[in-house]
Amino acid sequence: MTTELHDAMLWDSADGGAVQCNLCAHRCRIAEGDLGLCRVRRNVGGALKTLTYARLCALHVDPIEKKPLFHFLPGSTSLSVATPGCNFRCNFCQNWRISQSPGQEHSGPSVPLKGTEFLPPEQIVKLAEQNHCDSISYTYTEPTVFFELAYDTAVLARQRGIKNCFVSNGFMTPQAVETIAPLLDAINVDLKCFSDETYRRVCGGRLQPVLDGLVSLVQAGVWVEVTTLVVPGMNDSETELRQIAEFIAEHLGVHVPWHVSRFHGDYQQRNTPATPLSTLQTACQLGAKAGLKYIYCGNAPGQADENTYCAHCRETLIGRVGFSVERIRLSNGACPNCQTPLEGVWE
């Protein structure tokens, strides 16, 4: 296993040997020898380095529906990759064992994190080809903090006709969006709540950069879907759910799918009860009232309808059970019954 550091992207030199990271909206100013808030980027001799380049902590072939991306190559598989680390500290994180792992052990400037496997971009793309994956998903942790690996892999994937997807908290700078957007085919962004106070207290982030990033991604032509994990007592009020739905409709477009996902106790919120199905149903009703055309209830297999319906005639266009697609009824990306186009990426 290699122990070499890798040059980071999107940073500037600052006074006194410090560096200014311009990757995520924290915009960390990092002194010599220190780490950024993500704990996977270090100032080494006045240059910013990434500690986790090609050091994968997760590698799986997944249905694209697991991301979740419902209007992007339905029924296809995606090679999912992740390295450790995150720029948020969500106390309800479902993947905390890998997203928060850099803070749970010492990792010097040239020491690989435990539980990682070195796999460079060329091998990642080769694995995607060997497993007949139509896309590569940078997911599970936060792809923004393994931006260099994602970028280099995405370049090669594009050359081989493989699409690229992010599953992200959306806390990116405009520079990061501008850099990755030409290589990015789809993204699912976790819009965790509609309260800046909650973002700061629970996630260690801020709301406005996420909203700005979502708008920029749509404007850049990336296919965007939004997920909100509905956590009891945190973001489940009708007021907040309505605000999220109205933001999506007014600023992203009524065609943008909204996944309202059921929470199950985890990490530092193990004792928080699961989201009542009635709350998810209320969220769906609020989304429909805001004008959203495609709303899905996630994490409730067998208890919620995750089919895709024509927004005009309500014909079932994509039938799903869990992460499995049972049928697709599209004619050149449109409803075969009334010819209304279904927004998304179908080929």
The tally of domains found in the chain comes to 3
41 and 61, same domain (yes or no): no
286 and 247, same domain (yes or no): yes
Q: How far apart are CA 208 and CA 203, in angstroms?
A: 13
Judge contact between 147 and 21, C-beta under 8 A: no
Task: Evaluate if pTM is beyond 0.95.
Answer: no
Answer yes or no: is 184 within a domain.
yes
β-strands 135-138, 41-44: how paired?
unpaired
240 and 271, same domain (yes or no): yes
46 and 86, same domain (yes or no): no
299 and 195, same domain (yes or no): yes
64 and 27, same domain (yes or no): no
Question: How many C-beta atoms lie closer than 10 Å to residue 4's C-beta?
Answer: 9
Judge contact between 223 and 189, C-beta under 8 A: no
Q: What tens digit of pLDDT does each residue of 195-237 get?
A: 999 999 999 999 999 999 999 999 999 999 999 999 999 999 9
Answer yes or no: is 228 within a domain.
yes
216 and 312, same domain (yes or no): no
202 and 340, same domain (yes or no): no
Q: What tens digit of pLDDT does each residue of 80-136 get?
A: 999 999 999 888 777 767 777 665 443 333 334 445 689 999 999 999 999 999 999
Answer yes or no: is 250 within a domain.
yes
Judge contact between 149 and 83, C-beta under 8 A: yes
Q: Is the pLDDT of residue 252 over 90?
A: yes
Amino acid identity of 247?
Answer: F
92 and 162, same domain (yes or no): yes
Answer yes or no: is 1 within a domain.
no
200 and 60, same domain (yes or no): yes
338 and 195, same domain (yes or no): no
172 and 35, same domain (yes or no): no
Domain that holds residue 160: 55-305
Answer yes or no: is 211 within a domain.
yes
Kindly state the average pLDDT of the residues 258-269: 84
Q: How far apart are CA 187 and CA 196, in angstroms?
A: 22
Q: How far apart are CA 76 and CA 317, in angstroms?
A: 16
The enclosing domain of 218 has a CATH number of: 3.20.20.70
What is Dmax (Cα atoms) for the chain?
66
